[in-house]
Amino acid sequence: MSRRRRGCDAQAVLETALVIPLMLLLVANFIALMLQVTVQQQLDSATALAAESRFQAPQEAFDPAGVVCCPDPRCCAAPSDGTSLVTAGIPTGCRYAAETFYGTMHGYAGILEWQDAPLCLTGGDSVRVSVRFGGAVPYADSPQRSHVACVVGSNSTTGTSYAGYLDRTLNPPAGLYVVTCDATARLDFSKTPLAWGVFWSPTLHAHAEALPPPFRQ
Amino acid sequence: MEGTRHGCATGARRRRARAQATIEFAFVAPLFLLCFLATVDAGLWAVQSSAEVAAVQQAARLAASAGSSPLSSTTPDVRTVTATVSTRLQQALFATRLVAWPRGCPAAPGSVESLFGPRVLALCIDEHDPLPCSAAGTGTTPPSSSYCSDTPTITVRLVGYVASLVPPGLGITGSGGEIPTDITATTHTLRFAP
């Protein structure tokens, strides 16, 4: 075999060695992008349903002592489960939102790293864009490490009134009180079979607002 | 046949070069085809998944609102909900059939396949009612008494296998040609006394 012939062979091998990994890398990253789109949509869906489900609970209902959620201890976990949230003393609507969110997002537990926040907050104003949750503050008894954070207004039986989130883009300039839910998670591709070729981990965020149904206003 | 001074191959060398090109093609073509199929399949899967997530969300809203009508005191009929979302969902499903699961929900995608065959998605509705409040007054207070005034939860699931372009033998399930799907939406609903 001549030197030139060996040179041609070597060139072909080198071309293949360069092109094949590049092609596999492109495919892996395309699949990762598709996965990101799907998870983002699931996150949006869960957050929207969570915000809406708050209105299935009475405005003045607060959870009594001993109530935990997420997963629902009535079906899926023991009350002493470390992942459970103690919701005693916060509006029942917050627990409904959390149950809806956790029930809808259960499929991606292995690849999402949640950025936890207080479950139940009150107050907040859309003009305070630079402050997290528009300046809303957690209820005194709110669990601090929840995958979803909801700003929920409520009236307690003792007469204390807790404001919801004031959205001034609705009915400006006075605004309207709405329920908002936020969830943030990092999609960790290193825990997927794509880890060998995908070196980015996007942070996904979902925000949803729900207006009270007309008959409750 | 004579070789030239500057070309890589002519004559016998050209035949060898052709043979080499054929072998290279035989190696690269399946790999390229697999990558191409994987790319198209990932796109298809994303389109199908997006449509499924939207459909399940719509079905959950529908089931929750239908169930909370004063005229209804039970879980809405799964066939009605399936028919409502199927018009939108079928456009995105490629060679996959959508059916209503008769009662409760299947445990896993395999259950759908064993009942309806391959490439079938089943929509199911599962309702969890709260325990009756009267149980708290029996003397021994059950641990779930705090939940007796809760509204029911409705879970809508889309379970089964969607069609894919992965050749048989290379799929996740071993059989190929399909990808397992299990998408859930849970929400609370109101229920009026009958």
d(CA B108, CA B12): 61
Record: contact A49-B61, CB cut-off 8 A:
yes
Record: contact B49-A38, CB cut-off 8 A:
yes
Residue B3 in domain = no
Beta bridge partners of A19: none
Which range of A20-24, B7-11, B147-151 scores highest in mean pLDDT? It is A20-24
Task: Please list every residue in chain A whose beta carbon sits closer than 8 Å to the beta carbon of residue B155.
Answer: 103
Task: Please list every residue in chain A whose beta carbon sits closer than 8 Å to the beta carbon of residue B183.
Answer: 42, 107
Residue B117 in domain = yes
Record: contact B35-A79, CB cut-off 8 A:
no
Mean pLDDT of A20-30: 90
A204-213, B116-125, B183-192: least confidently modelled range: B183-192
Which structure tokens are listed for A150?
């909801």
Contact map slice: B 69-108 vs A, CB within 8 A: none
DSSP string over B159-182: EEEEE--SPTTSSTTSS-SEEEEE
pLDDT above 70 as % of chain A: 89
**Contact present, B131 and B152 (Cβ < 8 Å):** no
For residue B176, give how far its alpha carbon lies from the nearest alpha carbon of chain A (Å).
Answer: 18
Residue B5 in domain = no
Q: Domain containing B150: what range? A: 12-188
Of B83, B33, B29, B47, the C-alpha closest to B179 is: B47
Record: contact B43-A9, CB cut-off 8 A:
no
d(CA B122, CA B112): 7
pLDDT number for residue A135: 93
d(CA A77, CA A110): 18
Mean model confidence pLDDT for chain B: 79
Of A20, A26, A63, the CB nearest to B31: A20
* Residue A165, H or E segment: strand A165-167
pLDDT number for residue B192: 65
Q: Residues B32-91: pLDDT tens digits? A: 888 888 888 889 999 999 999 999 999 998 888 766 555 555 667 788 888 888 888 888
**Mutation to test the B interface, candidates A37, A53, A68, A72, most B Cβ within 10 Å:** A53
pLDDT above 90 as % of chain B: 19
Taking 3-state DSSP, the helix, strand and coil percentages for chain B, each rounded to the nearest 5, stand at 45, 20, 40
CB neighbour list of residue A94: distance below 8 Å, 6 or more residues apart? A54, A87, A119, A120, A139, A142, A150, A152
DSSP string over A75-132: TT--TT-TT-EE-TTSBHHHHHHHHHHHHHSGGGTTTEEE--B-SEEE--BTT-TTSG
Record: contact B153-A103, CB cut-off 8 A:
yes
Which structure tokens are listed for A139?
């209820």
pLDDT beyond 70 at A61 = yes
pLDDT number for residue A82: 60
Residue B67 in domain = yes
**Contact present, B157 and B180 (Cβ < 8 Å):** no
Which structure tokens are listed for B21?
């090109």
pLDDT beyond 60 at B130 = yes
Beta bridge partners of B96: none
Of B9, B64, B185, the CB nearest to A45: B185
A172-186, B9-23, B129-143: least confidently modelled range: B129-143
Of B111, B59, B96, B64, the C-alpha closest to B80 is: B59
pLDDT number for residue B95: 86
Q: Residues A3-18: pLDDT tens digits? A: 766 776 778 778 888 8
Mean model confidence pLDDT for chain A: 87
Torsion of CA A142, A144, A146, A152, to 10 degrees: 40
Burial class (CB in 10 A: 0-12, 13-18, 19+), A3: exposed
Mean pLDDT of B14-29: 84
Of B106, B107, B62, the C-alpha closest to B83 is: B62
pLDDT beyond 70 at B176 = no
Q: How many CB atoms lie within 10 A of CB A14?
A: 10
**Mutation to test the A interface, candidates B129, B170, B187, most A Cβ within 10 Å:** B187
Is A79's Cβ below 8 Å from some Cβ in B? Answer: yes
Q: Where are the domains of chain A?
A: 3-216
Mean pLDDT of B105-122: 90
d(CA A148, CA A185): 10
pLDDT beyond 70 at A217 = no
Task: Please list every residue in chain B whose beta carbon sits closer than 8 Å to the beta carbon of residue A72.
Answer: 128, 153
d(CA B127, CA B130): 10
Is B114's Cβ below 8 Å from some Cβ in A? Answer: no
pLDDT beyond 90 at B6 = no
pLDDT beyond 70 at A19 = yes
d(CA B73, CA A18): 65
Which range of A47-51, B1-5, B12-16 scores highest in mean pLDDT? It is A47-51
The secondary structure of residue A62, as a DSSP letter, is B
d(CA B153, CA A175): 32
pLDDT beyond 90 at B8 = no
Is B31's Cβ below 8 Å from some Cβ in A? Answer: yes
pTM: 0.85
Residue A49's pLDDT band (boundaries 50, 70, 90)?
very high
Residue B6 in domain = no
**Mutation to test the A interface, candidates B37, B148, B186, most A Cβ within 10 Å:** B186
pLDDT beyond 50 at B136 = no
* Residue A42, H or E segment: helix A3-53
Q: Residues A99-138: pLDDT tens digits? A: 999 989 877 878 999 999 999 999 999 999 899 999 999 9
